[in-house]
Amino acid sequence: MNAINTIGVLTSGGDAPGMNAAIRAVVRASIFHDKKCKAIYRGYQGLIDNDIVSTTPRSVNNIINKGGTMLKSARCLEFRTKEGRKKAYENINKNNIDALVVIGGDGSFTGAMIFQKEFGVPVIGIPGTIDNDIFGTSHTIGYDTALNTVTEVIDKIRDTAISHNRLFFVEVMGRDAGHIALNAGIGSGAEEILIPEEDMGIERMLDSLKRSEKSGKSSSIVVVAEGDKTGKNVFELAAYVEKNMPHYEVRVSVLGHMQRGGAPSCFDRVLASRMGVFAVESLLDGKSNIMVGIDNDTMILTDLDKAIKGKSNINKNLIRVSDILTI
């Protein structure tokens, strides 16, 4: 591997709060170690279009507290082709970039891995996604903020649910992973939580709601992950309960993209800062084709292919805790 003098940084795929803190950390850690850092706009699209700028420590002033990503993100079809990646490589050379830090999810890491194999450019991934669905880290950047956002919103929904004796179905993000639903569900005291990993069964949910009603609850909240295993979407679930418990007023709230927005939590800012510094130092240590992560408050590295193929399991004990606490 050639010596690294200039590190490129980009954000790719779905944005997540805390990505800016990670960009800031990569820029400043590079310069701290007497290297240059170039910022690439719009993910892989910017690499192909040569939308690349030099940075100084001041380029990343006042972004640690901002949601989204100042570098913008993009889904880039062209990078999926060999010709597109060749253009990207030409611009890497034009800008004298010796290594790449990719902040994104598993799609972005797949692109990075292919690029590294084809052209030998060292790459390192920083996991940024609110879904927390990446193997090799207990937390991804943005996840904690999303949990806080969702919990806060469900608290508000609870106010109106109580006032009207309503049953609310709240759909949260998570096509393949129930991390947000499970944790925000427990955090907001939800009656039932439906996730992609476990088939809780629609009848079980109905029984639980009936039991709760008998025990004196007059309003309830059911948190449903987008990809929940019952195979029914949130509107179908609501219709089913309405049919079987006709005296209940049922409402649906789909939280959608607001879950990705907002200022990052302190946890995400610190996590992103640590990951950014660790990513740069790992690259300078000669590491490549890996992802930085955190486990038990310790920074760790995982091979990119393992991070992509592996599954980040939910903590099944949380299901039990939720069951116990919703008697």
- Interface contacts to ligand ADP, rule CB under 6 A: 12-14, 44, 75-76, 79-80, 104-108, 110-111, 114, 129
Nearer to ligand ADP, 114 or 239 (CB): 114
Nearest to 46 by CA among 87, 80, 98: 87
| Nearest-CB residue for ligand ADP | 107
Q: Residue 107 Cβ, how far from ligand ADP at the closest point, in Å?
A: 2
Q: How would you classify the pairing of strands 249-254 and 220-225?
A: unpaired
Q: Residue 137 Cβ, how far from ligand ADP at the closest point, in Å?
A: 14
Nearer to ligand ADP, 309 or 320 (CB): 309
Burial 129-152 (b: 16+ CB within 10 A, else e): bbbbbbbbbebbbbbbbbbbbbbe
CA dist 227 and 231 (Å) reads: 8
Nearer to ligand ADP, 82 or 247 (CB): 82
Q: Packing angle between helix 19-32 and helix 266-284, nearest 10 degrees?
A: 40
Give the residue carrying structure tokens 């996590």.
271
Nearer to ligand ADP, 141 or 153 (CB): 141
Active site includes 133? no
CA dist 13 and 205 (Å) reads: 35
Kindly tell me the burial class for residue 189, based on how many C-beta atoms sit within 10 Å of its own C-beta (0-12, 13-18, 19 or more).
Answer: middle
Q: Residue 123 Cβ, how far from ligand ADP at the closest point, in Å?
A: 12
Question: How big is the chain, counted in residues?
Answer: 327
Burial 38-49 (b: 16+ CB within 10 A, else e): bbbbbbbbbbbb
Nearer to ligand ADP, 116 or 219 (CB): 116
Q: Residue 118 Cβ, how far from ligand ADP at the closest point, in Å?
A: 10
Catalytic residue among 15, 106, 131, 268: 131
Q: Residue 128 Cβ, how far from ligand ADP at the closest point, in Å?
A: 8
List active site positions.
131
